[in-house]
Amino acid sequence: MAQTAELKLPGLLDSLGALCKFAYQAALDAGLNEHTAWEIELAVDEAATNIIQHAYSAERPGDVRLVCGRDGSRFVVRLFDRGVPFDPETVPPPDLTSSIETREAGGLGMYLMGRMMDDVQFNYNPETGENELHMSKIVGTRLPEDVRVVPVQGRIDATAAPALATIVHEAAETGGRRILLDLTGVTFLSSSGLRILLLLARELKGSNGELRLCSLQPAVAEVFTLTGFTQIFTIHRTRDEALAALADVE
């Protein structure tokens, strides 16, 4: 990384504040705006908390090493520890739609890390016994404060529609007036998915906002073409193209 900063602290909850503050300041020093720096801070908090609470224990203490900085069009965060290796496949997806009586709170840390960052990878080196959590966020274009990029994964159908609505509403509530849905990871889109996208676009337009889409996979793009939704939405071929367009809008 061209611009890096490093901090090593004991793997204790008392270290969380310093780790988060360090990551936040490193993001600002790299030229990121305050909201993007906050997203990175939140991802670091969730990641470090998992390391401290699950990789280490009173019987097996250790350190957390944080390395972060700008690497071209990405801001990269790397956290190292020598605790128990972590398998992300063992964590079920969080429940985002159930009522207060039935909702389980598990899995939210991993979910938030995935929402805040564009790429999250867990690696274990058996030779050194070191775990590495590698996260990165695309920050090539400095965006206005009212723009939010929301990556979407998996299917957008009747089951997933409520969760998608929740995500977009959260982005709007944090100041996002113009919201870009990055559909790179979307593999399936149904009429129910189209309906929720249309409703969300109408909501944003009603409050002088806008919903844009980018990076549609071929099967998803075909559904938009067949239904004429390409005439309703502003759709960009890539995220970089979309970010450049949003940065130019007054």
Last residue of a domain, one of 72, 104, 138: 138
In this structure, the answer to whether residues 61 and 101 fall within a common structural domain is yes
Please give the pLDDT value at position 154: 87
Task: Write the CATH number for 162.
Answer: 3.30.750.24
Collapsed DSSP state (helix, strand, coil) of residue 69? strand
pLDDT number for residue 141: 57
Same domain for 95 and 49: yes
**Alpha-carbon distance 22 to 151, whole Å?**
25
Judgement on whether residues 40 and 81 belong to the same structural domain of the protein:
yes
Residue 103, pLDDT > 60, answer no
Contact 158, 190 (CB under 8 A): yes
Asked if residues 7 and 20 have their Cβ atoms less than 8 Å apart, the reply is no
Residue 196 has a pLDDT of 92
Mean pLDDT over each residue of the chain, to the nearest integer: 86
Q: For residues 84-121, b (16+ Cβ closer than 10 Å) or e, as one string?
A: eebeeeeeeebebeeeeeeeeeeeebbbbbbbbbbebe
Residue 88 has pLDDT above 90, yes or no: no
SS3 20: helix
User: 104-111: long-range contacts at Cβ-Cβ below 8 A with a sequence spacing of 24 or more?
Assistant: 109/46, 109/47, 109/49, 109/50, 110/46, 110/50
Residue 46 and residue 53 in contact, taking contact as beta carbons nearer than 8 Å = no
Q: pLDDT band at 118, cuts 50/70/90?
A: confident
| Entry pTM | 0.59
Answer with the one of 81, 107, 138 that is the final residue of a domain. 138
Which domain does 225 fall in, by range? 147-248
What b/e sequence results for 230-241 when a residue is b if at least 16 CB atoms lie within 10 Å of its CB, and e otherwise? eeebebbeebee
Confidence of residue 142 (pLDDT cuts 50, 70, 90): low
**Alpha carbon of residue 89 to chain centroid:** 18
| Domain closes at, from 105, 138, 171 | 138
Query: Which of 12-16, 91-95, 141-145 holds the top average pLDDT?
Result: 12-16
Domain count, the chain: 2
Type of residue at 63: D
Same-domain pairing of 165 and 90: no
Residue 104 predicted with pLDDT over 80: no
Please say if the pLDDT value at position 68 is more than 80.
Answer: yes
Residue 221 CB burial class (10 angstroms; 0-12, 13-18, ≥19):
middle
Task: Find the mean pLDDT for residues 216-234.
Answer: 93
Let me know whether 153 and 134 are in one domain.
Answer: no
DSSP string, 183-233: EEEEEEE-HHHHHHHHHHHHHHHHTT-EEEEE---HHHHHHHHHHTGGGTS
Average of per-residue pLDDT across 204-220: 93
Does one domain contain both 133 and 195?
A: no
What is the pLDDT at residue 250?
45
**b or e along 132-162 (b: 16 or more beta carbons within 10 Å of the residue's beta carbon)?**
bbbbbbbbebebeebbbbbbbeeebeeebbe
The string of pLDDT tens digits covering residues 151-185 is: 888 899 998 888 889 888 988 888 888 999 999 88
